[in-house]
């Protein structure tokens, strides 16, 4: 059969319309049962155990992952495997979140009596409000849809979108109730860009020790230039004997001196430095340092410790290597 691009576009638009309507229907049906489910999951002493068969199982895996990454300990257990030993993973201190559009999946229904005997609280996400799953559940969240987006009204489409949206709604309500912050999210995602941005401090990426260019105010301009060239930062701090920063001198400053025709041989670091330079502290987030450098329109910045003494230096290349910017 020849491909019809106009028909494909129309089906895509119809799919989005059907699924959007399904989500609006969910919104209108939310009530105290949703709040009760959130409270059950918030108070659980063990884990939220998510389970479901087929496409509902795929949705369940995603919901379990979202809960885990937003502060609610969760795991997915396949209902078929539960009947063959994995049921032992579920304890009385857990709460089960079972997902099934019909509420009659054989593998899921088979484990419901065992969960009941163990006294494990059960939350159901289902479109079958009179199903075996709904009858066994402590709380039922209605995920029913008028029709699937599939033209045959067979393939789980709108129904799985509804399940996923309810799972996201539960996760969002829970993270708010727990006071979950961006920093908490970063701690569970240390390898991601957000983790790097929220967990990386200036002290983690700065240059320190002999890598930090600095001279005394009495140093000649030649000595100052040699220090800058040797350390490769494009700038140098001018410090007193106690390492307090008096000023800074940059490559740009040198170019401007040459353009003015100044007698460079007679100048000292104190003569050419800019006093009271911008600094960051070792405890600042690296992303904060990056933002300040951008606002100051500089490519490097000096780092001070809690006593105000020079202890490091940082430039944009250091931040790029750390993948902060």
- Mean pLDDT, the chain, rounded, equals 90
251 and 299 belong to one structural domain? yes
CA 225, distance to chain mean position in Å, is: 43
Residues 61 and 161 in one domain: yes
198-256: pLDDT as tens digits: 678 899 989 999 999 999 999 999 899 999 989 888 899 999 999 999 999 998 888 88
How many whole angstroms separate alpha carbon 303 and alpha carbon 211? 12
Judgement on whether residues 46 and 133 belong to the same structural domain of the protein: yes
Asked if residue 218 belongs to a domain, the reply is yes
| pLDDT recorded at residue 85 | 78
pLDDT of residue 320: 86
Q: Which CATH number is 20's domain given?
A: 3.40.50.10490
Q: In this structure, is residue 44 part of a structural domain?
A: yes
Distance CA 48, CA 96 (A): 6
Residue 134 sits in the same domain as residue 55: yes
At residue 125, the pLDDT reads 97
Structural domain count of the chain: 2
pLDDT at 153: 82
* Inter-residue long-range contacts of 154-161, CB under 8 Å, 24+ positions, other chains counted: 156/54, 156/55, 156/56, 156/101, 157/15, 157/18, 157/19, 158/18, 158/19, 158/22, 159/22, 159/101, 159/127, 160/55, 160/56, 160/58, 160/59, 160/101, 161/19, 161/22, 161/23
d(CA 25, CA 129): 15
Between 124 and 151, name the one with better pLDDT: 124
Q: Which two tokens stand for residue 210?
A: 């002999």
At 100 the three-state DSSP class reads strand
Among 146, 180, 214, which residue terminates a domain? 180
Give the whole-angstrom CA distance, residue 175 versus residue 54.
Answer: 28
**Co-location of 207 and 172 in the same domain:** no
Residue 191 lies inside a defined structural domain of this protein: no
For the cut 70, the answer to whether the pLDDT of residue 186 exceeds it is no
Burial code (b: 16+ CB inside 10 Å, e: under 16) for 196-209 equals: bbbbbbbbebbbee
The reply to whether 131 falls in a domain is yes
* Residue 21 placed within a domain: yes
154 band by pLDDT with thresholds 50, 70 and 90: confident
Q: How confident is the model at residue 195 (pLDDT cuts 50, 70, 90)?
A: low
Same structural domain for residues 297 and 229?
Answer: yes
**Are both 132 and 255 inside the same structural domain?**
no
50 and 116: one domain?
yes
Name the pLDDT band for 83 (thresholds 50, 70, 90): confident
What average pLDDT does the segment 296-300 reach? 86
Which residue segment(s) compose the domain that 239 sits in? 202-321
Q: Are residues 53 and 99 in the same domain?
A: yes
Judge whether 173 lies within some domain. Answer: yes
Q: Is residue 288 part of a domain?
A: yes
Helix (H, G, I), strand (E, B) or coil at 129: coil
Q: Which long-range contacts (CB under 8 A, 24 or more apart) does 114-118 make?
A: 114/87, 115/90, 118/90, 118/91, 118/92
141 lies in the same domain as 248: no
Of the residues 180, 214, 238, the one at which a domain ends: 180
Looking at the structure, tell me whether residues 170 and 71 fall in a common domain: yes
186 found inside a domain: no
Annotate 180-230 with three-state secondary structure.
Answer: CCHHHHHHCCCCCHHHHHHHCEHHHHCECHHHCCEECCCCEHHHHHHHHHH
CA distance 50 to 234: 56
228 and 132 together in one domain: no
- Confidence tier at 178 by pLDDT (50, 70, 90): confident
* CATH code of 250's domain: 3.10.580.10
Sign of CA dihedral 126, 132, 137, 139: positive
Q: Residue 317's pLDDT is what?
A: 87
């Amino acid at each position: 059969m020849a491909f019809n691009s106009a028909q494909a576009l129309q089906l895509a638009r119809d799919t989005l319309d059907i699924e959007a309507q399904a989500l609006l229907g969910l919104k209108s049906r939310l009530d105290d049962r949703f709040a009760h489910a959130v409270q059950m999951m918030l108070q659980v002493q063990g884990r939220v155990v998510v389970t479901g068969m087929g496409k509902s199982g795929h949705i369940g895996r995603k919901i379990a992952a979202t809960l885990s990454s937003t502060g609610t300990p969760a795991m997915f257990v396949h209902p078929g495997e539960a009947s063959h030993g994995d049921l032992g993973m579920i304890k009385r201190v857990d709460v089960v979140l079972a997902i099934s559009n019909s509420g009659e999946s054989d593998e899921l229904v088979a484990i419901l009596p065992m969960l009941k005997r163990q006294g494990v609280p059960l939350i159901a996400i289902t479109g079958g409000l009179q199903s075996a799953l709904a009858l066994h559940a402590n709380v039922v969240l209605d995920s029913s849809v008028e029709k699937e987006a599939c033209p045959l009204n067979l393939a789980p489409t709108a129904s799985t979108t509804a399940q996923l949206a309810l799972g996201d709604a539960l996760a969002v309500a829970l993270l708010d109730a727990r006071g979950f912050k961006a920093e908490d999210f970063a701690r569970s995602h240390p390898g991601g860009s957000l983790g790097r941005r929220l967990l990386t401090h200036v002290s983690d990426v700065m240059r320190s020790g002999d890598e930090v260019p600095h001279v005394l105010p009495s140093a000649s301009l030649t000595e100052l230039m040699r220090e800058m060239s040797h350390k490769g930062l494009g700038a140098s701090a001018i410090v007193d004997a106690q390492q307090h920063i008096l000023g800074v001198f940059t490559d740009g400053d040198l170019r401007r001196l040459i353009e003015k025709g100044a007698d460079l041989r007679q100048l000292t670091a104190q003569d050419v430095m800019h006093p009271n330079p911008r600094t960051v502290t070792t405890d600042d987030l690296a992303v904060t340092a990056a933002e300040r450098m951008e606002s100051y329109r500089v490519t490097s910045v000096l780092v001070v410790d809690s006593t105000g003494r020079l202890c490091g230096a940082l430039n944009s290349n250091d931040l790029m290597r750390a993948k902060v910017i």
